[in-house]
Every structure is written in C-alpha cells, then in structure tokens.
C-alpha cells in the first residue's frame, strides 16, 4: 500500500512537539485545511494552515484545482484569434484587460497599428473593467471581514458596467471583444452617454462605500496592521499591481511603461500611505483599490472627451493572422498587476507558445511570507486583500 | 485614556454613519428584476444561443474552422449537376447539400467567433436563453433539415455522377489517345490540339469540385479568406470528400496522360 | 391566566401543559416571522427584495417552506463524530433558551412562573447555551467546529460579566429580581409628566447601561459584529458546520429565540415591558402582550439592522472590547447608578 501522505505534493509539514500544559494535558499545533471549499478563499485555493490555537504558524498555499491547460490549449489553436476566448477565462473578472494585453502583444509582434478610435474604446473598456474588478475585490474583501451589505452595493455598480459591456459586445463576463488589430464591434451609439452617466453616478458611490466600510472602525481594526507586506519583500517576491502599490511602491505600468495610449491621460498612481496603520497592511491594499477606481474614472472621462467619432474599428484586423517568426514579451497592467504575455511564433497560423505571466499567481506566492503570526480571521483578510483570482493562478 | 475615548467616539460615529446609510437604502427602490415575471430588455448584440438559418448555409465550414472549442459539426455533400440548390438570400450560389449541421451548445463558449466569418450571415446569436435540459445530449442542436432519405439520395446521385464522369473521362482519354496516336501516326507536328482537348477535359472534371469553395469565400471576403475557403472545401473530411478526391485524381490522371501523349507525339515527330 | 385556563380546561396537568406551551408557540411563530423579517430587512437594506414568491404576498411562507425542506432532509451524522453528543447538542441549545422564557412577563396576565429570582434565573439558564455549542463543536470532530466552539466558550463566559453587571445596575434601582415586579414598577408617567416611567428615563446612566447591555446581548446572542462562533467567512459555519436538516434548524431557531429573549429582557428592564407608552391608553393584558412583543421586535430589528451594516470583530478584539471597555465601564456605571439612587 502506498502512503498517501508520501505522494502528496508540497513540503512536508512537521508539527512542533506536544507541550505539556501542566495538568496532565498536552497541547500541540493543529494542521487545518482551509479550502478548496472554504467560502473565503476566493475560489479553489487550498491553504494548509498550521495553527497554534488561532495563531497561524505556517501557511502553505496549494494550487491547481482550477488548472485548465491554457498554454497547451493555445498551442492547439490553429488561429491566433482563437486564443482570445481562452485568454478571457484566465482572469474571468477582468477579461477585457486580459484581451487587451494579448491583443497588444500580437499587434507588436505583427507590427500592426490600430487607429485612435480603437485605442480610445480599448482604454475606456479596460478602465471600466478595472473598476468592475476592483468593485468585486473590494466587495468580497468586505464580505471576508463579515460585512455583507457593501458587497451587494458593489455588485449593483458592477452590474451597470456589465450592462455597458453587454451592449457593446453582447456578453457580460467573457467578452472576446478586443481583437487582434481592432475590436469585434463598434460601440453602440449611446455608448458615450451611457458611460458618462455611469461615471457621474459612480462618484458618490465611492464616498458611500468609504463611509460604510473603509472608515468603519471595526473594519479598520480588522485590516490595519494586519498582513503587513513590506516594500522590500513585495519587490523581492515580484508582487505587482495594487498589492505592490499598497506597500508604497509607485509602480504602475500605465505610467512606467505606457502601452496603448495611456501616456495621453492625466492620472495619479495611488500608493499606500499607512494612514490607519503600517504601510503595506491589508487596509492600504484595500484603499489603493478604492482610490484607483477614482483614477480610472478620471481616465474614462478624459478618454470620452478625446475619443474620435469616426474610424473603422476593424480597419486593421488582419484577414489571416500569420505573424513573422519571432517572439515577444508584452506586459500590461491589469487590475491584479502585471500581466505579461510571452508569445513565440514559428511563422505559421498556430501559436508555437503562449505563456502568460499571471499577476495573481505571483502575488499569491507572497502569502506564506506575510501570514505567519496572523490569526485565522486575519488569514481571510490577507487572502482577500491580495485579491487573487484562482482562474488566473491556475490558468 | 484619551485614545480609548476617541476610539469609542470613532466607533460609535462610524457605526451610526453606516447605520444611516443602510437605513437610507432600506427605503430606496430595489434593483431586483423578478425574473420569470419581469424580464430585462436585452441589448441587440446579446450572445445567448447560436442559430443557423440553414436555407442560407452554403456549407463553407468557415464557422466550423473558427470555433475554438469545436462545438460545430458540419457535413456536406456535393450536389450533382441535375439539382439546383438555388441561391441564398445574400445571392450566393449553393453548391453543397448540408446534410449535417450540429451545434453543441454544451460546449459552446459564446465567443461569437463563428458568427463573423460567415459569408452569408446565416449563423447568428439569438435572444433565447431558456434552454436548459436534463440530458447533455439534448444540447446538441441539429440545424440541417435534410431527411436521411434525402441524404442517401444525394450521396447516391453524387456517386452515380462521379462514376458517370470518370467513365466519360476515360472515354475522352481513350479518344484523345487514339487521336494523338492517329496524329502521331499521321506525322503532323500539331502539338496544340491534344493539349487543348486535355485541359478542356480537366476543367470539366475538377471544376465542380472547386467551385463550392470558391463560391464560399470568393465573394464574401478578401483574397486571403477566399484562399481559406478554397482549401476548406478541398480539405473537407466527410461524405463528399471521397467523391471530390476521386474527381481530382481523375483530373490529374487525365492531365498526365495528355502530357505523356504530347511528349510522345513530339518525340515521334522529331 | 392560569385561573382563566382552569375555568374551561378539565384537569390540572392539561392546564399546566397548555400554560407552559404558550411560550413555545410564541417562539415558533416569532421565529417564522423573524427569519422572514431578517430576509426582508437584509434584502431591502441591500436594495434587493428578499423572498417574494413563496406563499404569495411578499413571500410570507418562505420560512414555512424552508422548515418543510429541513424536516425532509437526511439526518447526517459524521462517521467519526461522537454520535450521542452530536445529536443532543441542538436540543440542549434550544431547551436552554426555551427554558429562559419562563421568567419573562409577556403581559400583566401571563408569566410562565412568578419566580423571585427571575433575571438571575435567565442569566443562569442561558449559560447552558454555551455548553451545548461546545458539545456541538467538539462532537462534530471537525477542526473548524472546534475553533468555533472554543471561541464561543471564551465569548460567552466573557460577555456574561458585563451583562450581569448591567442587569445588576438595573436591579439596584428596582430592588427586585422578579421581572413582573420590575415591569409593574414602570407603570405610569412619572418623568416630566409625559415620559413613561420606564427605567431608561430614570437617569442618564441608565442609557449607558442600556447601551452596554445591548452590546453584551448582541455578543450573547452571537449576532454581528460578534458572530464569531459561526463566522461564515472564516470558520465556514463554526459549530454548525457539520449540522444539516432539522438539527441545524434547531440551532437556527435557538439563535432567533435567543435574540428575542435578550430583546425581551432588555425591553422589560429598560422599556417598561408590557406597559403601554401612552399611559393607560391601549393598556390591559392583551395590549400588554402586544407592547411587550412590539418592543422586543424593535430591538430585534435593530439587531438585524446592525447585522447588515457592520463587519465582524476578530476574536482578540472581541476580548479586548469586553475586558478593556465593557466590563470597566459597566462597573463604573454600576457605581454611578448606585450613587444616583442614593442622592435622588
């Protein structure tokens, strides 16, 4: 008989020796499996926690429950355009950003220039998607802490964004809207008014969210000084996105390595300041997301003003996608961080390799480092604050 | 102490702020759509279910090729000369029987990649979303309206025609050979004539095999796409493939035979 | 009430049975209503509607339907569980909170038992609840349940202190532990001529006492922000994790019964119990029952309102709040109330 434990992947957990409590009873650490069916692991993450009472002494994330062979699937597609639906399904709450990254990578590989209208629509779409994704992150974070209602308020707003997407692309979650060299459809006639109306109605909601959740004393107590991710650790682990900015590092690819037309917009990079506790705690990571929504609104407003009304969105869509032999690495800033695509072409219509550097995966790796000494309840807060999407972690 | 007091004050203040917000929401209008009774007006482009207007389908298989999850399964049979399948509403000539057009909505990923390449716009996303079933196989929607008898007949006719054609070709070839021999025997160095005859024969044989593909892509899209369409029709895998192959083989053989005859004729004339 | 029942019911035991079954009826009907109300409150606070279909008008029969569903469900006991404890725990939990209702004066005409140590009895008997929760958590043989049970033990033991001390500060004023007498003391409009002579208006410190009592009772009833034993997002379901069907339903019933119990105690101690807020207008035994339940329901509603507003505390913060804030404050308050009572 084979020992199941021996075949288990991951490091072997050794418990500390039992301690005599003095009255004939012995206490020992406890290993507890958090997930993959745990309500707060944001999908199918499994955390193997070693607990001393309620204090976490070791946390090992186990992943792979949602692995769908994204890379192998891509290599099996006989058309580069057919990869886009798969790309959508990586980070399924921010599909537009995933598509944008892939489209830009392919356009750089094939040296395609898209016209301004396409660029502006793409930027508006991906910023709307960023808001939608942050709303979900912020809402579920509140849910992890125990506040149910802000979660649904966030979803109401997110729904409005999804309605805009649905009008433009026909889908609510997995759009396949941004194509290589253009877009699937032109936006509908009332796109501008819809989006402007959303921007206008959304600003007060951020304030409401702050009043209801961000500045709630209980919420602050639960998140401030919890799961502190120091700047150096964050950089060493390759953390990116709001989680990195929460640690006070001003690093946003939209500013530091502008792609598409992000160099045309005025916006600030939000960084965590440790207002309520230490720089890089859960509250900082949370509030960075909240204020990033505000910055995205700014970008959307500017883009709506500057967006040209004329232009064929399928102008540059190649009839047959046959990139020259070569390779490219292209990175973009998704709501979760730096999403990089490494694409190798062998001059055929089939991708030779499509590798994705998923931000969630990298961000997740920092979890064991920052969760030592936390309590079980903090563990939930930490997982929520680094905002992972398991679809992207496992791909 | 001061900190404790300010903390207490802050706690109560924020709790009451929060309670104020939730109390306000208690009386705001709810956003619920009571689904079976009320329904949202769906936008025009909504992607909910694939539908095929089979009358307009020319069997070009562009949608099948575009699908990233292989949920579309198309079978075509080349139509014989005596049948006129008519034209689609977009004015494309139909050359193929579509004996099978199954879409497995259980596999479909709703990416709409199949809709865009269609030259006749016959495959579309429609606004129908209540089609849950108990058996996954019930999610395979067949769109072909051909009965098994019709399919059988189409196949039979195709075979008969292919047979007839190959017979005809053989006869033509024989005739050409004879002619060439006669010419060679006659000692006249007239090389053009047999060549003409041979190429004429080849167009007759191979033409119909290719036209389907040409029709499919040629008018719908640019040159690149037409290339795809053509190769599609050539590489198609099912019922009509054998017939097509046979036709092509016959064509190739005819050409080769003609060339051989020509060479021999030249040699002899020299 | 007892005499009234004896006038038409044949034998003594039947009278006693009917007499003692009344709180159960009240709890059951209230639970049906409260669970529905919780859903509606949650729904409307979150801009939703809550149940709308079952039973026609605003889904009034939703809880009934759920009850039927729970009764039909398979009774699952985990293989490695301690079967006896596992099965007993929900019954003990419900028995504890049901037994406490005996000392609640529902109206001037009905109290289960006129015991002189009423409040003391309630405080004592509700402690059984924590025993049952520890039983459930331990017997489930599930680490999450165990964590939930441990939290409950700590929480209940800690929060009983401020609860008892605030109750004690009320007792200083009333001079009796019998809740019926406490209520009778609050009849009439003594304060400023128009305010009902409820204890909450007795002195400013009574308001503080009420706030402390309310916070402590939230913790006793395991409601947000103190719902750590269950804490769905951390401990999956805490001690309830392994329970399903009607056994889980009993825990649910206990939770709501506890809410009502503590609200009723609060209403009796601070808001005049079955006394009408309008003096002798709308007064009497039947109106008394109405006012009592109405006041209780208002407090229950506030509990629900809080639940759908606030996040949850962490276990160490919960202890901090109790030992560093509530307990010192309640003792100070006790002294202040005693002084007030001496001076005026």
Q: In this complex, do A215 and B14 lie within 8 Å of one another by their Cβ atoms? A: yes
A152 — contact with chain C (CB < 8 Å)? yes
Q: Å from B127 to nearest chain C CA?
A: 26
Whether residue B173 is found in the same domain as residue B143: no
List, for residues B21-45, the tens digit of each pLDDT value: 888 888 888 888 888 888 888 888 8
Q: Identify whether B37 is part of a domain.
A: no
| pLDDT attached to residue C152 | 83
Q: Is the pLDDT of residue C47 over 80?
A: yes
Q: In this complex, do B14 and A216 lie within 8 Å of one another by their Cβ atoms? A: yes
Chain B residues with CB under 8 Å of A166 CB are: 42-43, 45-46
| pLDDT attached to residue C2 | 58
Q: Å from A35 to nearest chain B CA?
A: 28
Q: Identify whether C22 is part of a domain.
A: no
Q: Identify whether B15 is part of a domain.
A: no
pLDDT band at A131 (very low <50, low <70, confident <90, very high): very high
A15 — contact with chain C (CB < 8 Å)? no
| Neighbouring-strand partners of residue A339 | A332
Q: Is the pLDDT of residue C1 over 60?
A: no
Give per-residue burial for A336-360: e unless 16+ CB within 10 Å, then b: bbbbbbbbbbeeebebeebbbbbbb
- Spatial distance between the Cα atoms of B252 and B85, rounded to a whole number of angstroms: 28
Whether residue B156 is found in the same domain as residue B78: no
Q: Identify whether B237 is part of a domain.
A: yes
Contact B125, B44 (CB under 8 A): no
Provide the residue range defining the domain that includes B91: 52-147
Whether residue B94 is found in the same domain as residue B159: no
| pLDDT attached to residue B224 | 40
Whether residue B128 is found in the same domain as residue B169: no
Contact C147, A54 (CB under 8 A): yes
Whether residue B198 is found in the same domain as residue B97: no
Whether residue B163 is found in the same domain as residue B249: yes
| Percent with pLDDT over 70 in chain A | 96
Q: Is the pLDDT of residue B146 over 80?
A: no
Identify which has the larger pLDDT, A380 or C238.
A380
Q: Which of B8, B26, B31 sits opposite C45 (nearest CB)?
A: B26
Q: Which residue of B has its CA nearest to C302?
A: B19
Q: Identify whether C109 is part of a domain.
A: yes
Q: Mark which of B147, B170, B196 sits at the end of a domain.
A: B147
Mean pLDDT of chain A, nearest integer: 86
Q: Identify whether B11 is part of a domain.
A: no
Q: Identify whether B42 is part of a domain.
A: no
List, for residues C297-337, the tens digit of each pLDDT value: 888 889 888 888 888 888 888 888 888 888 988 899 889 88
Q: Mark which of B147, B178, B196 sits at the end of a domain.
A: B147
Mean pLDDT of chain C, nearest integer: 83
Q: Is the pLDDT of residue C70 over 70?
A: yes
pLDDT band at B268 (very low <50, low <70, confident <90, very high): low
Provide the residue range defining the domain that includes C280: 72-343
| pLDDT attached to residue B245 | 64
Whether residue B243 is found in the same domain as residue B161: yes
Whether residue B154 is found in the same domain as residue B241: yes
Element (H, E) at B198: helix B192-218
Whether residue B206 is found in the same domain as residue B164: yes
Q: Identify whether B40 is part of a domain.
A: no
Q: Identify whether C240 is part of a domain.
A: yes
Q: Identify whether C126 is part of a domain.
A: yes
A212 — contact with chain C (CB < 8 Å)? yes
Whether residue B208 is found in the same domain as residue B124: no
Q: Identify whether C112 is part of a domain.
A: yes
Which burial class, exposed, middle or buried, applies to A204 when counting CB atoms under 10 A from its CB (0-12, 13-18, 19+)? exposed
| pLDDT attached to residue C191 | 60
Q: Is the pLDDT of residue B214 over 50?
A: no
- Spatial distance between the Cα atoms of A183 and A136, rounded to a whole number of angstroms: 25
| pLDDT attached to residue C22 | 80
Strands A326-334 and A182-183: unpaired
List, for residues A365-392, the tens digit of each pLDDT value: 888 888 888 888 888 888 888 888 888 8
Q: Which is nearest to C229 in space by CA: C332, C156, C336? A: C156
| pLDDT attached to residue C232 | 67
| pLDDT attached to residue A29 | 82
Best residue in B21, B69, B129 for a mutation probing chain A (most A CBs within 10 Å):
B21
Helix orientation angle between A191-209 and A149-169, rounded to the nearest 10 degrees: 170
| Percent with pLDDT over 90 in chain A | 5
A40 — contact with chain C (CB < 8 Å)? yes
| pLDDT attached to residue B243 | 67
C147 — contact with chain A (CB < 8 Å)? yes
Chains that touch A (3 or more CB pairs under 8 A): B, C
Q: Mark which of B113, B131, B147 sits at the end of a domain.
A: B147
List, for residues C179-193, the tens digit of each pLDDT value: 888 887 777 766 656
The contacts found for A302-307 with CB under 8 angstroms, 24 or more apart, are A302/A264, A302/A265, A302/A266, A303/A120, A303/A123, A303/A124, A303/A127, A303/A265, A304/A124, A304/A192, A304/A195, A304/A196, A304/A199, A306/A120, A306/A264, A307/A116, A307/A117, A307/A120, A307/A121, A307/A124, A307/A192
C328 — contact with chain B (CB < 8 Å)? no
Give the total number of structural domains in chain B: 2
List, for residues B49-91, the tens digit of each pLDDT value: 888 888 888 888 888 888 888 888 888 877 777 777 777 777 7
List, for residues B150-182, the tens digit of each pLDDT value: 788 878 888 888 888 888 888 888 888 888 887
Q: Identify whether C36 is part of a domain.
A: no
Identify which has the larger pLDDT, C73 or B258.
C73
Q: Identify whether C60 is part of a domain.
A: no
Whether residue B153 is found in the same domain as residue B174: yes
Domains and CATH numbers, chain A: 70-363 (1.10.645.10)
| pLDDT attached to residue B237 | 43
| Percent with pLDDT over 70 in chain C | 92
List, for residues A208-249, the tens digit of each pLDDT value: 888 888 888 888 888 888 888 888 888 888 898 898 888 888
Alpha-carbon distances, residue A119 vs A103, A104, A307, A308, A332 (angstroms) = 11, 10, 9, 10, 14
Strands A351-357 and A55-62: unpaired
- Write the ipTM: 0.84
Best residue in B3, B11, B12, B26 for a mutation probing chain C (most C CBs within 10 Å):
B26
Q: Identify whether C57 is part of a domain.
A: no
List, for residues C2-20, the tens digit of each pLDDT value: 566 666 666 667 777 777 7
pLDDT band at B193 (very low <50, low <70, confident <90, very high): very low
HSE at residue A127, side-chain half, CA atoms within 13 A, is 28
Q: Identify whether B56 is part of a domain.
A: yes
A349 — contact with chain B (CB < 8 Å)? no
Q: Identify whether B27 is part of a domain.
A: no
Whether residue B104 is found in the same domain as residue B189: no
Q: Is the pLDDT of residue A344 over 50?
A: yes
CATH of residue B123's domain is: 3.30.70.3270
| pLDDT attached to residue A2 | 45
| pLDDT attached to residue B76 | 81
Give the total number of structural domains in chain C: 1
């Amino acid at each position: 008989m084979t020992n199941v434990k021996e075949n288990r992947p991951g490091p072997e957990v050794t418990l500390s020796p039992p301690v005599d409590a003095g009255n004939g009873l012995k206490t020992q650490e406890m290993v507890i499996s958090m997930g993959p069916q745990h309500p707060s692991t944001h999908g199918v993450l499994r955390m193997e926690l070693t607990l001393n009472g309620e204090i976490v002494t070791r946390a090992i994330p186990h992943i792979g429950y949602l692995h769908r062979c994204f890379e192998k699937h891509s290599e099996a597609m006989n058309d580069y355009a057919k990869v886009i639906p798969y790309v959508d399904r990586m980070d399924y709450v921010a599909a537009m950003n995933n598509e944008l990254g892939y489209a830009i990578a392919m356009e750089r590989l094939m040296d395609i220039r898209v016209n301004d209208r396409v660029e502006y629509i793409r930027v508006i779409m991906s910023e709307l998607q960023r808001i939608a994704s942050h709303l979900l992150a912020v809402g579920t974070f509140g849910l992890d802490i125990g506040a149910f209602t802000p979660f649904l308020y966030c979803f109401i707003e997110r729904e409005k964004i999804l309605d805009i997407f649905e009008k433009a692309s026909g889908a609510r979650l997995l759009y396949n809207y941004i194509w290589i060299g253009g877009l699937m459809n032109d936006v509908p006639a009332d796109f501008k008014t819809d989006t402007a109306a959303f921007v206008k109605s959304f600003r007060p909601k951020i304030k409401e969210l702050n009043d209801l959740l961000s500045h709630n004393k209980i919420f602050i107590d639960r998140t401030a000084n919890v799961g502190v991710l120091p700047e150096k650790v964050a950089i060493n682990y390759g953390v990116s996105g709001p989680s990195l900015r929460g640690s006070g590092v001003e690093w946003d690819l939209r500013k530091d390595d502008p792609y598409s037309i992000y160099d045309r917009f005025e916006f600030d990079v939000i960084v965590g300041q440790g207002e309520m506790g230490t720089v890089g705690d859960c509250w900082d990571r949370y509030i960075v997301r909240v204020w990033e929504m505000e910055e995205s609104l700014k970008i959307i407003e500017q883009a709506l003003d500057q967006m040209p009304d004329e232009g064929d969105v399928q102008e540059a869509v190649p009839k047959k996608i046959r990139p020259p032999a070569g390779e490219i690495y292209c990175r973009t800033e998704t709501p979760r961080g730096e999403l990089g695509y490494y694409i190798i072409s062998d001059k055929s219509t089939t991708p030779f390799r499509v590798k994705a550097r998923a931000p969630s995966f990298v961000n997740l790796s920092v979890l064991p480092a920052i969760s030592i000494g936390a309590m079980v309840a903090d563990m939930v807060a930490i997982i929520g604050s680094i905002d992972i999407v398991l679809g992207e972690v496992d791909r | 102490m001061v900190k404790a007091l300010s903390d207490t004050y802050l706690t109560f203040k924020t709790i009451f702020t929060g309670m104020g917000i939730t109390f306000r929401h208690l009386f705001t209008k709810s956003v619920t759509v009571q689904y079976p009774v009320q329904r949202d007006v769906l936008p025009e482009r909504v992607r909910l279910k694939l539908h095929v207007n089979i009358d307009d389908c020319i069997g070009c298989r562009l949608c099948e090729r575009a699908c990233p999850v292989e949920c579309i399964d198309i079978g075509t049979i080349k139509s014989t000369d005596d049948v006129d399948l008519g034209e689609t509403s977009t004015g494309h000539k139909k050359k193929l029987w579509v004996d099978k057009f199954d879409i497995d909505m259980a596999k479909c990923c709703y990416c709409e990649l199949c809709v865009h390449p269609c030259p006749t716009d016959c495959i579309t996303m429609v606004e129908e979303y209540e089609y849950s079933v108990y058996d996954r196989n019930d999610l395979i929607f067949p769109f072909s309206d051909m009965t098994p008898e019709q399919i059988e007949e189409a196949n039979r006719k195709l075979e008969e025609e292919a047979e007839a054609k190959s017979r005809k070709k053989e006869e033509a070839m024989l005739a050409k050979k004879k002619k060439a021999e006669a010419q060679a025997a006659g000692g006249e160095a007239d090389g053009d004539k047999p060549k003409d005859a041979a190429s004429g024969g080849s167009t007759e044989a191979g033409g119909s095999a290719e036209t389907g593909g040409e029709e499919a892509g040629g008018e719908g899209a640019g040159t690149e796409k037409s290339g795809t369409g053509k190769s599609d029709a050539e590489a198609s895998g099912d019922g009509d493939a054998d017939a097509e192959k046979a036709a092509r083989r016959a064509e190739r053989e005819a050409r080769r035979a003609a060339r051989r005859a020509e060479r021999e004729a030249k040699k002899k004339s020299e | 009430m007892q005499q009234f029942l004896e006038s038409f019911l044949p034998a003594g035991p039947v009278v006693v049975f009917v007499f003692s079954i009344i709180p159960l009826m009240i709890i059951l009907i209230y639970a049906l209503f409260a669970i529905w109300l919780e859903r509606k409150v949650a729904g409307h606070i979150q801009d939703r509607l809550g149940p709308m279909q079952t039973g026609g008008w605003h889904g009034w029969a939703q809880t009934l339907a759920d009850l039927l569903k729970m009764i039909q469900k398979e009774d699952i006991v985990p293989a490695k569980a301690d079967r006896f404890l596992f099965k007993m725990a929900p019954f003990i939990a419900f028995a504890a909170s049901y037994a406490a209702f005996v000392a609640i004066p529902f109206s001037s005409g009905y109290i289960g038992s006129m015991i002189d140590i009423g409040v003391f009895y309630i405080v004592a008997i509700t402690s059984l609840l924590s025993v049952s929760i520890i039983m459930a958590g331990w017997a489930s043989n599930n680490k999450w349940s165990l964590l939930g049970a441990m939290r409950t033990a700590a929480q209940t033991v800690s929060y009983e202190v401020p609860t008892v001390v605030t109750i004690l500060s009320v007792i200083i004023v009333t001079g009796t532990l019998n809740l019926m007498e406490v209520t009778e003391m609050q009849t009439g409009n003594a304060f400023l001529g128009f305010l009902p002579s409820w204890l909450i208006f007795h002195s400013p410190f009574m308001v503080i006492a009420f706030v402390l009592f309310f916070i402590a009772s939230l913790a006793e009833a395991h409601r947000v922000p103190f719902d750590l034993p269950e804490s769905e997002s951390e401990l999956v379901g805490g001690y309830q994790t392994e329970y399903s069907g009607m056994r889980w339903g009993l825990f649910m019933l206990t939770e709501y019964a506890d809410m009502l119990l503590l609200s009723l105690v609060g209403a009796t101690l601070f808001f005049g119990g079955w006394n009408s807020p309008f003096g002798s207008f709308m007064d009497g035994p039947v109106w008394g029952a109405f006012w009592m339940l109405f006041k209780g329901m208002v407090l229950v509603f506030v509990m629900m309102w809080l639940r759908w507003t606030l996040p949850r505390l962490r276990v160490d913060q919960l202890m901090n709040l109790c030992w560093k804030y509530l307990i010192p404050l309640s003792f100070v308050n006790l002294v202040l109330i005693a002084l007030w009572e001496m001076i005026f």
